[in-house]
A = this chain, B = another copy of it.
Amino acid sequence: MRYFVAVAEELHFGRAAQRLTIAQPPLSRAIQQLERRLGVVLLHRTTRAITLTEAGSVLLREARLALDAVEAAERRTRRAAPDQPGMVLATKAGASRELLSRLLDAYAASPSAVDVEVVLCGPGESEALLRNGSADVALLQRPHDTTAGLDTEDLRTENQVLVLPEGHALADRPHVSMAEVDALPLPLPRWPRRDGTYPDGPGPKVRDLIQLTQLITLGRACALVPESLRAQLDGDHAIVAVADAPAVTTVIAWPAHSRSKAVAELVRTALEL
């Protein structure tokens, strides 16, 4: 399945083999065997290009889930070793900062509290860490993160605001609409995907908040961020409410079958904030 996912993602046997650090012929054979075993054609291949069949797309999605589940099983088992490593919480760097610190303070006051290791990660990454067992619990933000298959509790819903360079034409408006934002000559920045690549399109590439604020200050970008992020922006920007931007809900999420007492206690604490 690892092999198939590599081929399906690369759409190229040679590159996939390289990624898997094996030679190309065994990879071809492995995929053939998989197709024979399943009795299904997964790939349409010509000597020049590869495309996924319907069944291939299904397997790509399902295999990713299955591989995640296997990885998660190993990681969670390692973490359950007697040399107690506490609990790992993943969250997007910068997001929900005061919410997180209030949560950690409140949880630490609980008599049964264990050590909480906080892992700060890039956009979308915290969800992956939770799914593959690297984290026990995470703060996610809908709709950015997808919570299907996870258990969640909503913590807070907030509106998004537009961050502009100081003195921008729109800076004095009480509020703007999404249509106006889309029409701006200032591009929204591009964030890296989980694999480190960037989506195509205009807009500068950014990796963290520092880069973002700097770009905005320089007048090279604007940004749509949750209201609570204002506290972490330095003063050189203008903030304008966006009336019809989708609201962002911060949720606390954990694997659906978690039996951890510590996670349950942390969630309980979060709901009481």
Contact = CB atoms under 8 A, between A and B. Distances in A.
A39 B78 contact: yes
A271 interface: no
A1 B73 CA distance: 9
A78 B40 contact: yes
Given A149-B149, A256-B149, A54 B66 contact: no
A73 B65 contact: yes
Interface residues of A, number: 36
Interface string A228-266: 000000000000000000000000000011010000000
A236 to B, nearest CB: 43
Q: How many copies does the complex hold?
A: 2
Nearest to A62: B73
A72 interface: yes
A81 B55 contact: yes
A62 B77 contact: yes
A76 B54 contact: no
Interface residues of A, dominant DSSP: helix
A72 B66 CA distance: 8
Interface in A57-93: 57-59, 61-63, 65-66, 68-70, 72-74, 76-78, 80-82
A167 to B, nearest CB: 46
Contacts of A58: 76-77, 80
A148 interface: yes
